[in-house]
Amino acid sequence: MSRAWLIAGLGVMLSACQMIGPDYQVPTDAAVQRKDIQGELAVAGKPVISAPVPADWWRLYKDPRLDQLVQQAMASNTDLRVAAANLSRARAQVDEAEAAGGWSGGVKMGAQRLQESGQAFLLPEKVPVANIADIGISASYQFDLWGTLQRGIEAAKANADATQAAADTARITLVADVVRAYTQVCAANEEREIAEHSLDLQSQSTTLIQRLRDAGRGDETQVTRSQTQFKSLRADLPRYEAARQAGLFRLSMLLAKPVEQLPAGTASCAELPKIAQLVPVGDGAALLKRRPDIRQAERRLAAATAGIGIATGELYPDISIGATIGTVGIIDDLGDPSTNRWGFGPSLSWKVPTNGARARIREAEANTQGALAHFDGVVLNAIRETQTGLAQYSALLQRRDALAEAEQSAKLAAEQTHRFFQAGRESFLADLQATRTYTDVTAQLAAANTQVAMSQIDLFLALGGGWESGRTNTSSASKP
Residue type, 213: R
Q: What's the CA gap between 197 and 192, in Å, rounded? A: 9
What pLDDT is attached to residue 469?
59
What mean pLDDT do residues 38-46 have?
75
Higher pLDDT, 158 or 334: 158
- Pick the residue with more confidence: 289 or 477? 289
First to last CA, the chain: 54
The letter for the amino acid at 231 is: K
Query: Model confidence at 7, in pLDDT bands (50, 70, 90)?
Result: very low
pLDDT at 4 over 70: no
- pLDDT above 90 covers a percentage of the chain that reads 57
**456 or 353, higher pLDDT:** 456
List, for residues 124-150, the tens digit of each pLDDT value: 888 888 899 999 999 999 988 898 999
Model pLDDT for residues 362-411, shown as the tens digit of each residue:
999 999 999 999 999 999 999 999 999 999 999 999 999 999 999 999 99
Fold of 18-99+153-316+358-478: Outer membrane efflux proteins (OEP) (1.20.1600)
CA distance 358 to 147: 17
The confidence score (pLDDT) of residue 118 equals 79
pLDDT of residue 335: 83
Residue 225 sits at φ, ψ, to 5 deg, of: -65, -40
| Alpha-carbon span 284 to 221, nearest angstrom | 62
- CB-CB contact of 379 with 288 (8 Å): yes
Q: Looking at residue 1, what is its pLDDT?
A: 46
What value does the mean pLDDT of the chain take?
88
pLDDT at 14 > cutoff 60:
no
User: Per residue in 271-282, pLDDT tens?
Assistant: 899 998 889 998
Contact 337, 346 (CB under 8 A): no
Per-residue pLDDT, 39 = 84
For residue 8, pLDDT over 60 is answered with: no
Between 418 and 445, the more confident residue is 445
> How many whole angstroms separate alpha carbon 20 and alpha carbon 314?
11
- Written in H, E and C, the secondary structure of 412-478 is HHHHHHHHHHHCCCCCHHHHHHHHHHHHHHHHHHHHHHHHHHHHHHHHHHHHCCCCCCCHHHHHHHH
Highest mean pLDDT among 12-16, 38-42, 460-464: 460-464
Over residues 90-122, the pLDDT tens digits come to 999 999 998 988 888 899 999 999 888 878 878
Residues 184-243 have pLDDT tens digits of: 999 999 999 988 888 887 788 788 778 878 777 777 887 888 888 888 878 888 999 999
Query: How far is Cα 256 from Cα 396, in angstroms, rounded to an integer?
Result: 33
What is the domain partition of the chain in residue ranges?
Answer: 18-99+153-316+358-478
